[in-house]
Amino acid sequence: MDGTVYAVVPVKDFALAKQRLAPALSADQRRDLVRAMLCDVLETLAASTRLAGTIVITADPQAGLLARHYGARLLFERQVRGLNAAVANVATRLAAEQRAGMLILPSDIPGVSAAEIDRLVAAHPPGRAVSLVPAHDGQGTNALLVSPPAALRFAFGPLSFPLHVTLAQEAGLALRCHDAADFPGLAHDIDQPADLAGLARLLPASHTRRLLERHDGFLSPTP
Ligand SMILES: Nc1nc2c(ncn2[C@@H]2O[C@H](COP(=O)(O)OP(=O)(O)OP(=O)(O)O)[C@@H](O)[C@H]2O)c(=O)[nH]1
Ligand SMILES: O=C(O)[C@H](O)COP(=O)(O)O
């Protein structure tokens, strides 16, 4: 698509994130991992050639500092009301600014590449439309590109991928669903301990990879 597409990265409080990794990683390890993954995602988005910019929405001051460091706009979440409320807030803003579209990405996809982002934006249908990339489990939504920004009701959470398909169809939007296999870096989100296995091998030089290499035994379960 042509026009101004903004990437939007919602970021939960670092201290509360990645609870499902608690069986494998300590609280400090989880916080370090969340931070490294966010750095990788923001660095990749800054390298994309098809985005007008990136917005981080968060209530976490550290995430806000990182957003600034990577040249992203920051929207401070004054009241934390969950992921869907956060992205709906950004959609309203971007619609008011008459941006062409918004691309929502989670902060836990350290393997995402600028080439994947650019390919996704280039393949987006013209007009009122939604493009989706599922998470590698087929259930979550790892990329949601919607134009115009406020055209869709968001349903992030369990089984959000099929829910977003249904909501896009009900809203009469053109729909492009991609295969996770065509976007391996983007589709590989880190939710469960099993998602960490082999991750260091898959990643190019990156903050997350350096973290995994630095912590000897990072991937061993904590006692
Ligand atoms: N701004 C904002 N971002 C959120 C909120 N909840 C989740 N996110 C972000 O949404 C994306 C997907 O979140 P999840 O995969 O559910 O991550 P998580 O909540 O850290 O993981 P668990 O604690 O294991 O459920 C990540 O980028 C989170 O940081 C929220 O209330 N506000
Ligand atoms: O993909 C989604 O809808 C949610 O943002 C996160 O789901 P997950 O926690 O299963 O990745």
pLDDT of residue 223: 39
Residue 78 lies in a domain: yes
Residue 112 lies in a domain: yes
Residue 173 lies in a domain: yes
Question: How would you class 49 by CB atoms within 10 Å of its CB: exposed for 0-12, middle for 13-18, buried for 19 or more?
Answer: exposed
Residue 36 lies in a domain: yes
**Alpha-carbon gap, residue 64 to 100, rounded angstroms:** 25
Best probe residue, ligand 2, of 144, 191, 192, 195 (max atoms within 8 Å of C-beta): 191
**With a 6 A CB cut-off, is 168 part of the ligand 2 pocket?**
no
Count of alpha carbons within 13 Å of 106, Cβ hemisphere only? 27
pLDDT of residue 221: 44
Residue 139 lies in a domain: yes
Give the CATH number of the domain where residue 140 resides.
3.90.550.10
* Distance between Cα 2 and ligand 1 center (Å): 30
pLDDT of residue 218: 61
Count of alpha carbons within 13 Å of 1, Cβ hemisphere only? 28
When divided into structural domains, the chain yields a total of 1
Residue 223 lies in a domain: no
pLDDT of residue 118: 97
Q: Distances from the Cα of 1 to the Cαs of 51, 80, 148, in angstroms?
A: 11, 32, 12
Residue numbers of the domain that contains 121: 5-208
**Alpha-carbon gap, residue 177 to 134, rounded angstroms:** 8
Residue 157 lies in a domain: yes
Residue owning the nearest CA to atom 8 of ligand 2: 140
Is the pTM higher than 0.90? yes
Task: Please report, in tens digits, the pLDDT of each residue of the chain (223 residues total).
Answer: 657 999 999 999 999 999 999 998 999 999 999 999 999 999 999 999 999 999 999 999 999 999 999 999 999 999 989 999 999 999 999 999 999 999 999 999 999 999 999 999 999 999 999 999 999 999 999 999 999 999 999 999 999 999 999 999 999 999 999 999 999 999 999 999 888 876 776 788 899 988 888 776 665 544 3
* Distance between Cα 160 and ligand 2 center (Å): 7
* Distance between Cα 158 and ligand 2 center (Å): 6
Distant-in-sequence, close-in-space partners of 18: CB < 8 Å, separation ≥ 6: 25, 30, 33, 34, 108, 190, 191
Whose tokens are 């590449």? That residue is 113
**With a 6 A CB cut-off, is 189 part of the ligand 2 pocket?**
yes
Residue 122 lies in a domain: yes
* Distance between Cα 55 and ligand 1 center (Å): 15
Contact assessment for residue 10 and residue 72, using Cβ atoms and an 8 Å cutoff: no
User: What is the helix (H) or strand (E) element at residue 22, kind and residue range?
Assistant: none
